[in-house]
Structure 1
Amino acid sequence: MNENKYEINIDPDWIKKYAGKIIGGFLLVVAIFTSTKTVGPEEEGVVVLLGQYNRTVQPGLNFILPFGIESMYKIPVQRQLKQEFGFRTVKADQRTEYEKGTFGDESMMLTGDLNLTDVEWVVQYRIVDSYNYLFRVRNAEKTLRDMSEAAMRKIVGDRTVNEVLTVGRQEVATSVEVLLQEMCDEYQNGIRIDQVVLQDVNPPEPVKPSFNAVNEAQQERETLTNQAEAEYNRVIPRAKGEAEETIQLAEAYALNRVNRAKGEADRFNSLFDAYIKSPEVTKQRIYLETMEKVLPKIGNKIIVDDKGNNILPLLNLDKAKKINP
């Protein structure tokens, strides 16, 4: 039986001749690959030389020392980042999907009146200082998460459950944002808080039906209170207006009576002065003026002479009255 044997003979001279070139080419490729870095438009690169900060480079193509002598961290300084508490975004599309899962430990909180509430919120932030973000605080993302949870628990713990669930939600979010920014400034972690948004605030599931019943009763109370205030605002101003009108009419009547009384008093005084000066003339004038006022009002007038037998009508006063009413 014949066996074919193949032998590969490598010329030692060839190895000596090309080994250096192969190794050199390999090292050149590795050097190019490890020294060329591309920084995105929303990023900046932090270059570390042998574990120590060296410089910060801007977006674009940049070069560093190869073979791990220098390394680069790409920090998204122009991008808004966020952290979610109590839920996680599974799919962010036209229809966003959320997952609560087992995140109740970070969202279940104790309020100031010793009630439990489930608070879900989002912290939106930006990295404004790459150096501080990398070197001032170890694991800045985890630290920010712990600070956010601590700030939310503190603010919620200072308020009642009704405030957190209803009217005080915006105040809670604003207070957490201010407190969290103060903590970031104190730690110098290079982070600026843009906004804190309360995604959802609910009572715990076991007590949710009871809380909804209480909430409905409070809303009904508010509705009845508003209706009563509306009725009050409708009736009371009207009554006040009528009372003011009555008072003004009474004041006008009193002023009119006083002025008339003063006028009559002045007229009597002037008439009395005239009477003192000319009694007979004044008496005759008063008599004639009085008869002028009285006679048109007494109807038919008949004058009877006690010594005579004939009856004489007194002029034709009725006709004059009709002509000159």
Structure 2
Amino acid sequence: MDDRTFDISQIKVPAIPSKSMGTGVIALLIVGGLLSTFYQIQPEEVGVVLRFGRYVRTTDPGLRAKLPLLETVIKVPVQRQLKHEFGFRTVEAGVRSQFSARQFADEAVMLTGDLNVAVVEWIVQYRVSEPIQYLFKVRNLDDTFRAMNEAVMREVVGDRTVTEVLTVGRQDIETSVQQQLQVLAGQYEMGITVEQVVLQDVNPPDPVKPSWDEVNQAQQQRDRLINEARAEYNAIIPRARGEAEQAILQAEGYALDRVNRAEGDAARFNSVYEAYRQAPDVTRRRLYLETMQRVLPKVGGKLFLAEDANGVVPLFSLDTLRQSVGSAAPIPGGDR
């Protein structure tokens, strides 16, 4: 290749008129001043205006103005829900969220109250309620708030057994952590409102998972057997108690009936005896007539003859009389 050399001195720079250059500089200053004067606050934000680093005012959403070069604006999302993740990180949120493969054991591994180890993952959702406190009251607010979350969660988990942390105590843990975080945020004047604490995956460490699963299976089998025994107990014992109470009530009713009958028979006998004692003949005849009234309808055909009857006996249909007498039921201790 041929080497080519250029003489810079031969390059001619076009002459720019000084009047045009001044106009361009003025235009750039005007555009820059306008851009630094007006700013836009989004609907979920407020603007905190600082003049030489000192707070001056708070502006609402919309197109606003400030003093150029003298004032700066910090936009704070007061209507947006913010969150911190512990024990995991979301790489991309969506229908199928993608999570980081990195392990965060330093913030997720915790010791429970019964000296077991649990891996706790959780999310804290909060909003900015006081922009001035949020910006200026606490240095490194995000790091401080994360440290507070870890401290409170470890304290709450340390007061409970591993079974409560993994199963039945999740709701109670979330509520306790939220309340304690809100109290600390108020004491530190962070200017935030803790809206929700959500436990995600809570599991034992990977090396002990097989043993933990075996323990859970044994506990589930134990609970199943206990529930079956209680169901059988509830099915048999109440029925047996009901049958026993029924038998007792029947016996008491039978005893009461027998006593009442005996007392009634004794009272009736006494009344008959009193009547007999006052009028023996009348009572004896009355008893005789009542007895005959009960007996005679069971005899069947009857033939009455006077004691002093003599002579020719009228002719009766003896066959009909015999049939009626034969069909009559026998009376114990008597004749037909």
Q: CA deviation at 1:252?
A: 1.5
> Residue in 2 aligned with 1:167?
168
| Closer/same/farther in 2, CA of residues 260 and 96 from structure 1, 3 Å limit | same
SS for the counterpart of 1:237 is helix
> Residue in 2 aligned with 1:124?
125
> Residue in 2 aligned with 1:243?
244
Q: Is 1:209 paired with 2:210?
A: yes
Contact 1:296 1:317 in 2 (8 A): no
Alignment of 1:114-263 (within 5 A): 114-263=115-264
What is the aligned counterpart of 1:53 among 55, 63, 84? 55
1-side partners of 2:253 and 2:174: how far apart? 61
Please list the CA deviations of residues 56-111 of structure 1 after superposition, one character each: whole Å capped at 9, or x if unmatched.
111111111212x2111111111111111000112211112222513111010011
> Residue in 2 aligned with 1:91?
92
Q: Is 1:319 paired with 2:327?
A: yes
Contact 2:298 2:329 in 1 (8 A): no
2-side partners of 1:255 and 1:99: how far apart? 84
| Closer/same/farther in 2, CA of residues 236 and 72 from structure 1, 3 Å limit | same
Q: CA deviation at 1:213?
A: 0.6
Alignment of 1:74-113 (within 5 A): 74-113=75-114
2-side partners of 1:234 and 1:211: how far apart? 34
> Residue in 1 aligned with 2:276?
275
2-side partners of 1:28 and 1:224: how far apart? 84
Q: CA deviation at 1:30?
A: 2.1
2-side partners of 1:99 and 1:225: how far apart? 43
Contact 1:42 1:78 in 2 (8 A): yes
Q: CA deviation at 1:201?
A: 0.3
Please list the CA deviations of residues 227-277 of structure 1 after superposition, one character each: whole Å capped at 9, or x if unmatched.
111111111221122122112211211121111111101101111101111
> Residue in 2 aligned with 1:308?
none
TM-score normalised by L of structure 2:
0.82
Letter of the aligned partner of 2:166 in structure 1?
A: L
Q: CA deviation at 1:22?
A: 3.5
Please list the CA deviations of residues 198-225 of structure 1 after superposition, one character each: whole Å capped at 9, or x if unmatched.
0110001111111111011111111111
2-side partners of 1:56 and 1:106: how far apart? 36
2-side partners of 1:318 and 1:162: how far apart? 92
Q: CA deviation at 1:18?
A: 4.6
Contact 2:298 2:328 in 1 (8 A): no
Contact 1:113 1:160 in 2 (8 A): yes
1-side partners of 2:267 and 2:295: how far apart? 23
Contact 2:87 2:107 in 1 (8 A): yes
Q: CA deviation at 1:139?
A: 2.2
Q: CA deviation at 1:32?
A: 1.9
> Residue in 2 aligned with 1:28?
30
Contact 2:36 2:68 in 1 (8 A): yes
2-side partners of 1:74 and 1:187: how far apart? 22
Please list the CA deviations of residues 108-160 of structure 1 after superposition, one character each: whole Å capped at 9, or x if unmatched.
00111111100000001111111111111112222211111111011001111
Q: CA deviation at 1:40?
A: 1.0
Contact 1:86 1:100 in 2 (8 A): no
Q: What 5-or-longer segments of structure 1 have no aligned partner?
A: 299-313
> Residue in 2 aligned with 1:303?
none
CA RMSD of aligned residues (A): 2.7
